[in-house]
Structure 1
Amino acid sequence: MSKMNFNDYGRCMATYNSWQNAVLFDLCAEIGDEARRLDRGMFFGAIHNTLNHLIYIDLRILGILRTGEAEAFDARTIVEDDFDLLSAKRTEVDRDIMAFVNGSDHAWQDGIRELQGLDGVVRKLPRQLFLMQLFNHQTHHRSQITAELHKMGIDYGITDVPLTPDLPL
């Protein structure tokens, strides 16, 4: 592929996120529940809470992408308290993201979403921006978790997008 369009971007980033989330959850399974739930001074306290936050926001953004709407926001929502259920939910949400970006109806890209930010300012934003935010948000919070894993002496490995296995190019 010599050029990428927005649909290609979505497919590549969904593949990347599935890969990175699988690596992250595998490592988090290895450290055990006590280490995952330990308050480490992260924005959401514990790794477990941050993993929950990632899924919660992914579900919200998928709602915006599909319908232009989202439910009331609560940043500290716990999607699943049990790690095995949380891990299964992560896989399910990653499949949903992949299905969304692989869909043949791309009319959603023409939509505008009016959003009041936490700063109180109302903005009219293209819905494409929310797909970008979904991927950016995941990267942001995964980096918080990988920093904690690094402090524990755990090598997270490769995170470079161009090195994603099975990248759809």
Structure 2
Amino acid sequence: MSTPAHCRMMARYNRLANQRLYEACAALSDEERKADRHAFFRSIHGTLNHIMVGDRVWMARFEGGSAPLGGLDAILYEDFDELRAARDAEDARIDAYAAAITQPELDADFASVSSAGVRFVDPLNQLVTHMFNHQIHHRGQVHHMLSDAGLDPPSLDMHRILNPTPAA
């Protein structure tokens, strides 16, 4: 079961992990980021856009709005710097949501409509956890593609991001 403290920790981890990942991706040329690497969303750039699409869909639902239209493979930003700025803004949005969430909200059922128009009712704590898990899953794919591109990808281990200083 998720708690507000766990949500805040996951939001912080995701923000910091995204910053590390984008910093590594910035070392590549635009052509290298957009090269087809035979991944589900084809390229590093496509996968970073997909993570953004997923976050915007979930956050719109959580905030009481409707999910943005477009496919899960939509390229929201062709320009990497614009995508990076949007990522920072989306992470701030997620941080704010996590800072305000309460245990009664997390414990409640939450109704949402899928992109296929199907209505679901799930425990909110599972959906919030899924949003964070979705990011982790696809960051792992980008991590692998960075290796394929010849870079040494950054560590994305949660405990090393949240607690970077070794014990004395």
TM-score range, shorter chain: 0.7 to 0.9
Alpha-carbon separation, structure 2, partners of 1:16 and 1:117: 27
- Structure-1-length-normalised TM-score: 0.84
Match of 2:72 among 63, 72, 75: 75
Segments of 5+ residues of structure 2 without an aligned counterpart are none
Partner residue, 2:147: 150
Q: Deviations over 1:51-79 (max 9, x none)?
A: 11111110110111111742445112221
Q: C-alpha separation between the residues in 2 aligned to 1:52 and 1:6?
A: 28
- Let me know the Cα RMSD of the aligned residues: 2.4
State percent identity of aligned pairs.
Answer: 31
- Using the TM superposition, name which of 97-106 and 24-33 deviates more: 97-106
1:33–1:116 Cα change, 3 Å: closer
Q: Match for residue 126 of structure 1?
A: 123
Q: CA deviation at 1:163?
A: 2.3
The correspondence for 1:112, drawn from 110, 113, 130, is 110
Write the distance in 1 (CA, Å) between the matches of 2:30 and 2:111.
39
- Shift of residue 128 of structure 1? 2.1
**TM-score normalised over the length of structure 2:** 0.85
Unmatched tracts of structure 1, length 5 or more: none
2:9 is matched with 12
Q: Deviations over 1:88-141 (max 9, x none)?
A: 0000000100011011656543242244587x9764212222211111111111
How far, CA to CA, are the matches of 1:117 and 1:60 in structure 2?
9
Of 53-62 and 102-111, the range deviating more from structure 2: 102-111
